[in-house]
Amino acid sequence: MGNNKSMAGGQTAIHTQETYVWYRTFMTEYPSGLQTLHEFKTLLGLQGLNQMANQQVDQVYNTFDMNKDGFIDILEFIAAVNLVVRGKMEQKLKWYFKLYDADGNGSIDKKELLNIFMSVQAIKGQQTLSPEEFANLVFHKIDINKDGELTLEEFINGMEKDQDLLEIVSKSFDLSDMLKVICNGKEPNTGE
């Protein structure tokens, strides 16, 4: 299925019909062709979060805003939906890494990981492990040289080798449910 080559090249082998639906949905919602941070939060139903969770959502938005102009345009939006809905595991892991590395210094320390899990908990509710237990577990398992920092390599290798961990991490950042709403053009139905 590895047929989505460079977007810049003449051949964009993306699933055209679905992309068209995303395109149409986006342009209907945002006729200016730009989505603001506020609109992003509204779209995903992520309003009224606490400060920590809010920062996390900001961070998600920033990773999608690739040209850093403060808006998500249609191409960035489609790239984001593509990544989340059908990205390959390694692409997603790179994205998770970017999300987790809040100060952007190229490695994830325990505090950054802890912050993430605390905000995930704030967004998604109580998880099986407490944020601290989880952060400790992750470092115990994949901080190979035990220096208290996770490099991109440690992160990707570690996650690829440990399916359980990978599952928890992907679940904790699984936006696909929310983004499927966009694809279907429906309002999310709160489960309970």
Question: Residues interacting with Ca ion, by CB under 5 A?
Answer: 65, 67, 69, 71, 101, 103, 105, 143, 145, 147, 149
If the CB atoms of residues 86 and 110 are measured against Ca ion, the closer one turns out to be: 110
Residue 160 CB, nearest approach to Ca ion (Å) = 16
If the CB atoms of residues 71 and 117 are measured against Ca ion, the closer one turns out to be: 71
If the CB atoms of residues 146 and 186 are measured against Ca ion, the closer one turns out to be: 146
User: From CA 184, how far away is CA 24, in angstroms rounded?
Assistant: 11
Spell out the alpha helix ranges (H) of the chain.
16-29, 37-43, 51-64, 74-86, 89-100, 110-124, 131-142, 152-161, 163-172, 176-184
Q: Give Cα separations from 176 to 10, 82, 92, 145, 148 (angstroms).
A: 28, 10, 12, 33, 31
Contact 85, 176 (CB under 8 A): yes
Residue 192 CB, nearest approach to Ca ion (Å) = 35
Residue 143 CB, nearest approach to Ca ion (Å) = 4
Residue 191 CB, nearest approach to Ca ion (Å) = 32
Residue 42 CB, nearest approach to Ca ion (Å) = 18
User: From CA 180, how far away is CA 176, in angstroms rounded?
Assistant: 6
If the CB atoms of residues 71 and 95 are measured against Ca ion, the closer one turns out to be: 71
If the CB atoms of residues 147 and 167 are measured against Ca ion, the closer one turns out to be: 147
Name, in order, each residue with C-beta under 8 angstroms of 164's C-beta and a sequence gap of 6 or more.
none
Q: Give Cα separations from 40 to 34, 68, 111, 154 (angstroms).
A: 10, 15, 26, 31
The pair of structure tokens assigned to 124 is: 């998604």
If the CB atoms of residues 113 and 168 are measured against Ca ion, the closer one turns out to be: 113
- Number of Cβ within 10 Å of residue 78's Cβ equals 18
Residue 56 CB, nearest approach to Ca ion (Å) = 14
